Structures are given as C-alpha cells and as structure tokens.
C-alpha cells in the first residue's frame, strides 16, 4: 500500500491507531444504552403497546419511542428464534409450520439461516446475542470502510470521516434494528478493499477474501440489497482490472464466480420460493423517493420523523438518504481534483441516486420487470449513494488539505458559498412561500436550523484552517467532530433501546393456547406472527413479502367463493366472508383466540354468535379461547374424491354451497383408487410434528387418501413405511397421498432439490477457491 501524499502530522504510536480508536469511541457512545444500562436495541415498548395479547395488559403499557419497525416484531426476531432453536436441535430450519399453514423458512431469505453471526446465539443469552447482532453492524461498517479508503490512499483524517459517515448514514440507521439489510451491504467496502488490495499486491489471500464477501452478503438476509452489493463490486472490479494482465483478470473473475457458487444453498431455494410466490408477478413502482425529499440527505427531519410522530410526507425509513451536510460539502470538494476513483464513486453515487428517485428512469427500470429489483422498493439502492458519498467525503478532506497547503482558498470558498446559498434559499422558501401546509412549515423550519448551524460552523472551521495553516490539521479535526456529532445525533434519535423484560413476556392466554393446541392444532383470530411464530403456535395467516401464491388465493377466495388473486404481502381470511367458516374447518382451525374487548366489533371474527359450533375452553378478564368443534383434523382420511385441474373451477367447486368437503377431496391428479361413500374404521393420528418432518400413524381397512392441511410445495417428499410415494395437491393448496389398506407410518419430509443442488454448487465454489489458490501460487504469484 502506498503512503498518502498528505502526511498526518500526529505523533506515533497514537498516529497509527487513533482512527480505529475514534471509530470505537463513537460506536460505544451509540451503543452505551446496552452496555451501561442493560437495554436491548429492540422496540419492546412498541411490542407490548400495540400487539396482542400484550396490548390488552395496561400494566405493560409505556411510552413508545419508535413505532416504525413492526416487521422486526412480527417476523425478524421470532424467525431468528426459530432458526436458533432448530440449529440447536441439529436441524436446518428449511420449513416454518407456524405461518401461512406452512411456508419455506430458509428460502424466505430474511430468516438468514446461514448468517455466521448466528454463532452469537450459541455463546450468549438470546437477548444479549440479539443486541450484539444489531450493534456490531455499524462497528463492522466503520472498520471495513476504513480498510477500503486507506487502500485508496486517503489520509487517516479523511478515512475517519468516511467511516463515521457510512456507519450512521440514513440507510444504516433506519434498517439497523432488523439485523438483515445492513449486514447485506456492510461487506461492500470489504469487497472493494479485497479487489484494490489484490491489484496492488497480487497476494492470493485477497482473492479468497473477495470470494468470501459474496456469500457473507447473500447469507445476511436481504436478496435485493445483496444484488446492489454485487453490482457495485463488479463495477469496481471492471474498473480496476481494466489494465491488468489476462491471468489477473481470470483470477479476479474466478473469485467472484466462486463466491456466487458458495451462495447457492441460499440462492436456489430462495429463487424457487420467489417463483411460487405472489411477489414474483407484482411489478409496481413502490417507495421511489420524491425529488424534494432529497433535502433529507442533510436535513433528515425536514419533513418530520416517525420518532416524534410528525412525519407526514412519505415513508421515512424507505426514503432515508441522510449523509450529513459536512460530508456532502466534502464530497463536492473531492471533484476539485479529478482521479479515476473519484470519477467512479461519483458516477456510482449519481446512478444509484437517480434509480432511487421518482424519475422516468426508475419507471423504466420497473417496466423492464426485472425479478426482485422491479418487485421491491427501488428506493433502497440509496444505500449505494450514501456509501459513495462517504468515500468521496474522504477524498474531499484530502483535497481540502491540499488546497490549504497550497494556499488556494478561492474554489473552496466558492463551494461553501454555494451551499450556504442553497441552505438560505431552503430556509427562505420555508419561511416566506406557502409551499407546505402551515403546520408542516414549522417542522421544516425547526429541522433546518441544525444543518444550517453545522454548515456555518464547518465553513468557519475551513476558513480558520486557511488562516492558521501551520495547525490546520488540528483545526480540521473540527470537521470530523461536526460530522460525527451530526451522524450520532441522527442515529440516537431513531434507534430504540428498551427494557429486556418487555421482550415477548409470557402471558396466561398464550400458555393456554400452547396447552390446548399441543403444537399441532391451529389457532385463529386477531393474533399475529409476533405471538404465533415466537411461541410456536401453528397459524394460518401472516404478513410477509414472500408466501405461497396458491395459499393466498385460497384464503382470498373464501370471501365469496369465487377465484380471487392473492394480495401482495398479506394472506388473511375475511372475518365476515361467506365461506370463512368452511375455510376454517378445512384448515383445521382448532382454537379461536378472542379478546373480550373485540366482542361485537366489525373487525373481529364473530365467534360469539355461534354457540353450536364453538365451545368456550378458556376465559380470563381479557381473553376467551373457543374450540372449533366442526374443524377437520389436521390429518384426515378420505375415501371419495373428485379430480379437477383448472384453478378457478377448483375454487368454485370447493366453496360451493352443496359441496361435501368433509367427505370429498378435490385433487388435481387421479390417484386411481376406487371411490367409496362408506365410513370405514380408520384413524390418522399425528405422532410427531417438526418443522421439516411430520409423522402420521395411519390405520384403514380400505385404500384411502390421507389429507394433511399443510401447504403443498415443491421439495416435500412422502414415505409410507419408508417407501416413497407421490404427494398430491388437494383442496387447491394442501397435501394428500394414497395409502393402501392396513396400518402404516406415513412421513412427510421437506427435502427440497433446490437446497441439495445449492449445496453441490457451493462445493464447486470451494473447489474453485482451492484450485485458484494452488494454481496461482505455483504458476504466477510466488
């Protein structure tokens, strides 16, 4: 690595490590509520105030700091618990039986089954492991960014600014609590560092590092962000290897290929799930950032903040572009001295910004119907803009110092003047022109004061550095402190640190549900994944970007009995649908959860109206539990069936008034059994119900169809006394198989081919890495 042309005049040995110490100090200040006050970076106050059953307990109520991250409560945290518990039991959590009547879990992607940071949960108590999982993100982002910008010959002061800015940019902060999206992109600077270091040194270890960063990103839990990571890495790779010899180009491309292959155990199952989900066919422009909202890149709360309950213009988290006024000014300084790296990060930042905004370009991209990219929130590519600005800020600091050294203040003053003018115009518009509702103008005015003040202080700092040139290096530390203060203030305002005691506390009603369902019976009512996933209560509904399309169509069609397409992210039964009761019975809904306060309310399922169908089995001062006496068993034997392949006709038949769904199955393939209307002596008892395996004891004195009200999905295999048999799709979205006369043990095992082939391809990636190491070491790079 070459030394920076601008030497940092700070005495050793502190000179060598002060930036890393500074990064740690800033990170510790941010993380101190956990380390000093034993609070968890999780919105537990939001959980107990807004989500049943806890929201019914007034004694748990407390002020809520941030109510803008429900997905962590309903999905991410409970899924992590399922992952850890499955891994502890020696199983890979391929399937989740607790949502949507069964759904792929590893393939869901956000479950992050292969994340190396899952090891934390085997070392620390769960809540502490979660806290470390969340808090390590900005620290790693800072360290990795520092490695990159130093390899680009940016000074320690410039590198420190780049690191702090990326650690706490808008995207990093608003998505940090999820523990998925940020991990998918924090490896970007590490990937670019590996490319840059290999180009500079030709050392093989950097090829290995490049390969490893790819699965690290793709195993982190967010495919869309990992695509952006990969695209930016490949763009930098093409830039840097342009003038390299053919063999070095081959090594670099082979390393990227190896990394992609290593990621296949996650990518192949996820692609299969995506193809079977409603999301794969939903191409709409969502969450693109309106052009005026770009003001929030330096004034993050100009249009309000979800934390202070005054955000009004749009989606604060999806549109988070905050970088800070000082880094933005420094990034403009960087272009006063053109280098190819500056041009690269400038173009990368501009392109990603344009793609995130509401422009004809973003509309065009969505219109291309690119899988994942065109079906997700396009605005999230803003993180690449923030990363580019962070790197350019480091270059800009060095350009500023060079101009100070050469006594050339004119261009610097011009840039500062332009930014001061822009801020003044924004303030002027906010005060003088009616461009916003009067009450919103007050929000904008108030939240522009701090960025304006920071800009003024930063400008004075720059002018002082020109005036006191001999000690300018020390004066310019003021810019680092201002940028750090701005970033840290933004992060601390958003991030909740709350009581560990309020993280999914036990309640009597949940214990009653567990007791009554015994891990097999399903529960239905106004209770979501925050309870059903966390406490392992099999349920039928859910919210998720990915769920099985056929299942969503089944639930939606139960409203009036006609075929209805599934919704984009929600699978839910209409509480007052014409055929809701029939759907409940087919689904094997055993328990209905009913808050007493919901009685006679339109949003609740009217369990109180049908005393013949339901038995009251539990009651306290807040909740009732009812047993559905009419529900089919989760496993049932049928002796009569009809065959229909057309989707819409299946729905029409299944939900018709006269169809006897209790005795007749609707299949899509003919099993070739003799139909019977008799009711022979038989039983089908579930003896073991695990995420990846279901065992059913079957006894019948005639050939029969065994029905299991779990979702049909590629990868499920069935065995009758160890002999493989074909799984049939029954009643539109469920599983069935033919069993002969006799007593058998039937097993359903989830063994997806996509996962198997992913493992094989991952092995190929490892072989490529080994071959690359041996070949390069022996032939070229000694």
Mean pLDDT score across all residues of the chain: 91
Copy the structure tokens of residue 433: 């022109």
Q: Is the pLDDT of residue 10 over 60?
A: no
Confidence tier at 607 by pLDDT (50, 70, 90):
very high
* Percentage of residues of the chain with pLDDT beyond 70: 94
Q: Is the pLDDT of residue 586 over 80?
A: yes
What local confidence, expressed as pLDDT, does residue 4 receive? 46
Cβ–Cβ under 8 Å, residues 285 and 376: no
Q: Is the pLDDT of residue 26 over 50?
A: yes
What local confidence, expressed as pLDDT, does residue 363 receive? 75
519-542 confidence digits (pLDDT tens)? 888 999 999 899 999 999 999 998
As a whole number of angstroms, the distance between CA 393 and CA 333 comes to 8
What local confidence, expressed as pLDDT, does residue 2 receive? 44
Three-class DSSP labels, 539-562: ECCEECCCCEHHHHHHHHHCCCCC
188-216 confidence digits (pLDDT tens)? 999 999 999 999 988 889 999 999 999 99
Q: Quote the pTM value.
A: 0.93
Coil vs helix vs strand at 720: strand
Cβ–Cβ under 8 Å, residues 69 and 528: no
Helices (H), 168-275: 170-175, 181-186, 188-201, 204-218, 223-240, 246-262, 264-275
Q: Over the range 650-673, which residues count as b (16 or more CB within 10 Å of their CB) and which as e?
A: bbbbbbeeebebeebbbbbeebeb
What local confidence, expressed as pLDDT, does residue 286 receive? 65
235-285 confidence digits (pLDDT tens)? 999 998 887 788 888 899 999 999 999 999 999 999 999 989 887 666 565
What local confidence, expressed as pLDDT, does residue 5 receive? 46
Copy the structure tokens of residue 384: 């690449």
């Amino acid at each position: 690595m070459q030394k920076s042309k601008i030497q940092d005049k700070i005495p050793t040995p502190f000179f060598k490590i002060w930036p890393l110490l500074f990064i740690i100090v800033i990170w510790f200040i941010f993380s101190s509520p956990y380390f000093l006050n034993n609070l968890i970076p999780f919105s537990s106050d939001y959980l107990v105030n807004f989500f049943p059953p806890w929201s019914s307990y007034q004694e748990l109520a407390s002020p809520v700091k941030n109510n803008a991250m429900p997905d962590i409560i309903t999905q991410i945290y409970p899924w992590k618990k399922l992952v850890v518990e499955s891994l502890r039991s020696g199983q890979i959590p391929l399937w989740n039986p607790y949502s949507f009547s069964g759904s792929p879990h590893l393939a869901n992607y956000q479950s992050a089954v292969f994340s190396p940071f899952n090891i934390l949960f085997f070392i620390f108590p769960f809540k502490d492991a979660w806290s470390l999982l969340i808090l390590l993100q900005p620290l790693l982002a800072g360290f990795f960014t520092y490695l990159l910008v130093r390899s680009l010959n940016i000074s320690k002061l410039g590198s420190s600014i780049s690191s702090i800015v990326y650690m706490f940019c808008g995207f990093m902060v608003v998505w940090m609590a999820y523990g998925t999206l940020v991990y998918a992109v924090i490896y970007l600077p590490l990937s670019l560092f590996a490319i840059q270091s290999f180009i500079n040194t030709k050392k093989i270890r950097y090829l290995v590092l490049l390969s490893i960063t790819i699965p690290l990103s793709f195993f982190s839990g967010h495919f869309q962000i990992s695509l952006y990571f990969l695209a930016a890495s490949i763009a930098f790779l093409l830039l840097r290897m342009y003038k390299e010899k053919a063999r070095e180009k081959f090594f670099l491309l082979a390393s990227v290929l190896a990394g992609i292959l290593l990621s296949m155990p996650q990518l192949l199952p996820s692609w299969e799930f995506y193809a079977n989900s409603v999301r794969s066919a939903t191409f709409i422009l969502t969450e693109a950032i309106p052009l005026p909202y770009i003001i929030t890149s330096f004034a993050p709360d100009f249009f309000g903040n979800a934390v202070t309950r005054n955000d009004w213009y749009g989606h604060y988290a999806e549109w988070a572009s905050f970088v800070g006024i000082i880094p933005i000014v420094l990034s403009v300084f960087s272009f006063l001295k053109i280098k190819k790296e500056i041009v690269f990060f400038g173009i990368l930042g501009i392109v990603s910004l344009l793609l995130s905004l509401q422009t004809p370009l973003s509309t065009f991209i969505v219109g291309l119907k690119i899988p994942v990219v065109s079906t997700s929130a396009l605005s999230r590519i803003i993180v690449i803009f923030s990363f580019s600005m962070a790197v350019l800020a480091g270059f800009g600091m060095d350009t500023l110092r060079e101009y100070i050294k050469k006594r050339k203040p004119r261009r610097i003053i011009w840039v500062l003047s332009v930014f001061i003018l822009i801020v003044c115009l924004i303030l002027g518009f906010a005060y003088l022109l009616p461009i916003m509702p009067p009450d919103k103008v007050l929000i904008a005015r108030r939240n522009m004061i701090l960025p304006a003040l920071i800009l003024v202080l930063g400008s004075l700092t720059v002018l002082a550095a020109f005036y006191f040139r001999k000690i300018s290096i020390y004066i310019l530390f003021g810019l680092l402190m201002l940028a750090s203060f701005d970033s840290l203030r933004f992060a601390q305002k958003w991030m909740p640190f709350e009581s560990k005691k309020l993280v999914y506390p036990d309640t009597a009603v949940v214990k009653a549900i567990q007791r009554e369902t015994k891990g097999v019976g399903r529960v239905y009512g106004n209770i979501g994944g925050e309870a059903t996933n966390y406490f392992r209560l099999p349920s039928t509904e859910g919210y998720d970007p990915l769920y099985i399309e056929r299942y969503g169509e089944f639930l939606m069609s139960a409203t009036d009995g006609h075929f209805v397409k599934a919704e984009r992210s929600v699978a839910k039964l209409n509480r007052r649908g014409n055929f809701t009761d029939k759907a409940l019975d087919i689904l094997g809904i055993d328990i209905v959860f009913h808050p007493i306060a919901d009685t006679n309310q339109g949003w609740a399922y009217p369990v109180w109206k049908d005393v013949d169908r339901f038995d009251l089995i539990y009651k306290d001062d807040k909740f009732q539990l009812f047993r559905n006496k009419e529900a089919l068993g989760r496993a049932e034997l049928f002796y009569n069936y009809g065959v229909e392949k057309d989707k819409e006709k299946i729905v029409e038949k299944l939900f018709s008034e006269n169809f006897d769904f209790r005795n007749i199955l609707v299949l899509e393939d003919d099993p070739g059994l003799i139909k019977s209307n008799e009711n022979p002596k038989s039983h089908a008892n579930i003896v073991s119900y695990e995420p990846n395996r279901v065992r059913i004891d079957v006894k019948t004195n005639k050939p029969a169809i065994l029905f299991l009200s779990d979702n049909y999905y590629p990868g499920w295999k069935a065995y009758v006394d160890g002999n493989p048999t074909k799984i049939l799709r029954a009643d539109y979205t469920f599983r069935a198989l033919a069993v002969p006369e006799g007593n058998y043990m039937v097993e359903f095992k989830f063994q997806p081919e996509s996962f198997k082939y992913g493992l094989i391809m991952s092995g190929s990636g490892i072989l490529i890495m080994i071959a690359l190491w041996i070949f390069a070491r022996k032939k070229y790079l000694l």
